[in-house]
Chain A
Amino acid sequence: MTMEQIIPPILNLKILFPELLITVTALVILLYDLILSKDKKTTLACLGLLGLAVSLVYSIIMWKTGVSTYAFNHMIVVDKFTLLFNSLFIVASFITILISINYIKEEGVNYGEYYTLVLLSTVGMMLMAKANDLMIVFLGLETLSISIYVLVGFLRTNVRSNESSLKYFLLGAFSSAFLLYGIALIYGATGTTRLPDIARFIENTPSLLSNPLLLAAVGLLLVGFGFKIALVPFHMWTPDVYEGAPTSITAFMSVGVKAAAFSAFLRVFLTSFSTLRAEWAMILWILSVLTMSLGNLVALVQENIKRMLAYSSIAHAGYILVAVTAGGDLAITSIIYYLMSYTLMNLGAFTVVILYGKRGEENIHLSDYSGAGFKYPFLSAAMAVFMFSLAGIPPLAGFIGKFYIFSAAVKQGFIWLTIISVLNSLVAVYYYLRVTVIMYMKEPIKDVGELSFSIPIVIALLITTFFTLHMGILPSDYLNIAKQSIAMLLL
């Protein structure tokens, strides 16, 4: 290893190409928007998709060549782990744009800023994953959050959308403060915000209890991340915000923001605080049980499908936390696989919600889906696939994800935690099944009218369905990718 240099700082801009490209695309969209007539905004979406596609290809090439390097004077790290997460965010963002094109048009908010904000929040996510320093984590988080605050309130004439934006902003700002306070205390305790240096310092700390400053710092960081991931008891905002936000943004938040927060959470806790894992794992054990159970139990009684998916996303964070609690390489592999599969199947479910919901969320209640099964056979079959996959029924992606998470927990001897998790997935089966019950077994109660199957949304539906099936039936490649991605992380 070379000594850390102070002058000149290694910028290494090349490895930040994906982020830079997306940022530039976002800015170009912002400017181009000014000279574009109102009915041609789809061009902007195409521009955004192009930018994302190029950075995806670039990220994949970097992943393949196995670059593992630092930039900005070790503030930023690029390895397979970060590149994989980056690709995941780009895919999530790509699909989000696909499902947004028609949606924002119908909702009458067809503004170019929408795409700019989606892209900028993607950059924020990517920075969070690439952070090698708590400051970058914070920077990424804020870039991400501020864009999302605006996006949540994007339906500016809609009271619910405004309400949820304000709610998310107030609570989000509060939680950012927690995170920042935690970072400050970490600096106070260890004298650095650089993750590897923190790890080196903590190696000599026998226990959290022996260093109250550190204890408080870890606690505050946990609260900060817990808020973004929507862990119980920091989940209160989730259902309201998810319900009020534009559906496309709800979809994006439920997968992208969550995955981004998890990527940073994993890196911070598994690299910096890894020697103290016995202590924080105990807290996570409790949090994961609470998160799963509350998410699933409350989802049971939801009548609004967006709210139901909001609670289900809380529960899924709980499952992932099971693997974090368990620890070990299998656990991290399983988390990565789970996030990949969850991203695709959940985006798929939201795609159906958008398509079926129509303008102004006309059909957003579960009962609106009654009789859809035989009226729209392919759309409903896709929804059934997503629901069964979210419920963890083989041979779909969600099952493999759950299977590996449970494997990881059993491997580390967390038998009771596994049993609680499987019982939770049993509860979850009920409400996912309910969607299929309503679609296939109930008579239609109202005329939903014609659905507009626009090309982008159909593409999104096909992509998500394909991967939900493919990742379930032939998971080997994906698992391999996940496995290779963590090889560096655990060194």
Chain B
Amino acid sequence: MVIGMNEYMEVLLEQIRCKRAWTMIEEEIRNHILDQAEANRQQGMEEEEALAEAVRDMGDPVEVGVALDRIHRPQTEWGMMALIGVVSLFSIFVQWMLGKENASLGQEYGIRHAAGVAIGYLVMLLVYRMDYSNIGKYAKRIGVLFCVFVFFVAGGLGMEINGARAWIHLGGSRLSVIFLMYLFIPIYGALVYRYRGMGWKGLGKCFGWMLLPILAAWKIPCMSLALALFLIMSLMLSVAVCRGWFPVCSKKIVAVYWILAAVLPVCFFLFIASIGNLAGYQQERIKGFLGMESAYVDHAGHLAVEYIRSSRLIGNSGKEIIDWLPEMGSDYILVFLASYYGILAALVAGVLILAIAAKTIHIAFGQKNQLGMMMGCGCGLVFEMMTLVGVLRNFGLIPATQIFFPFLSGSQTGVIVSYILAGIILSIYRYRNILPEEKTVLEQKPFCK
């Protein structure tokens, strides 16, 4: 029986259960049939006969469709899910013990955290089922709405704590907009992807989008957030440039960018400080950290270092610390672990989170779809950055800052943000053999060799 090209494609595609993969497969097979038909015509066949012969050459559409269906189906990264599950259980245990040890928190604290983790895990599964490319499709709108929301919160809608207007009440929970801001990172990845192939103009737009959340962080004000966002987005932009997304650039441009990235914020900061635009406590903190005479003393930082020093490799250090350190469940969770269970326990926690961060980066760079690569890269960088900053803070190497250990901290917002980012990376993996790459003509010249 002779069947036409359209009929052939219809039968073939019917075998592939995941409809999202159809476009990508159909285009390739159709082009092949047309190439073959053209070759047949050049050998002297009539147009209709040439096409029919080309279709016949393809083989059984059911057999081909079934074979392709085995490859192009949603996939689950079970390893990552299991790893996150292990970290979640570890987190519940640690926070439960912290609540038990600290009378002012009580067991209710542990229950609340366990509920937060359970909700977070469910949210992660929901995000994982969603098609992440929709973020790419509406990146500009989501990005604008996101930043406008933060400006509104910082402008008066939010609650002010320690000079930063960054908290909102939702139901019975208090959410930190500072931590929510890290959700802008995958959106930024999608925005960079949208501007690829646009040369200097595209690069300028990417830079403009970078300024928006940084200004929002400035408005809060939260300098550590502004700096963290700047570093993460700059790294993402560097990856894009090195991959030839912006054909005007070279390796030198990336080097110049990083030199400017190191110098300009310092100059800007000094300028702001010189015109007296920094809050008093900010000025004192900076002086204190720089070793200058200051009214600010980093008690928490000093105590954290003291407790880490007095920790044993395994087992309780015997030092009562709960009532001394604020935010023990989030900012200083490693100090708690080291003091109560030994340095090894803190090390295990750090390794577990870094394993998730490394796995995230690995999944991202293994993506063929460049939108997924860039968004995933951003998620991984958030995990890496938060862990690194957290470890430095626990060892008293940097001043007090707004941090959360991904998946581990008792911060409700930190927990939710961690699971949403994990959901995005799982969604990226899920659709890795399904979503077609958006067509963008990039120059073939390698720019960063």
A binds B: no
Q: Chain A interface (Cβ within 8 Å of chain B)?
A: none
Q: Chain B interface (Cβ within 8 Å of chain A)?
A: none
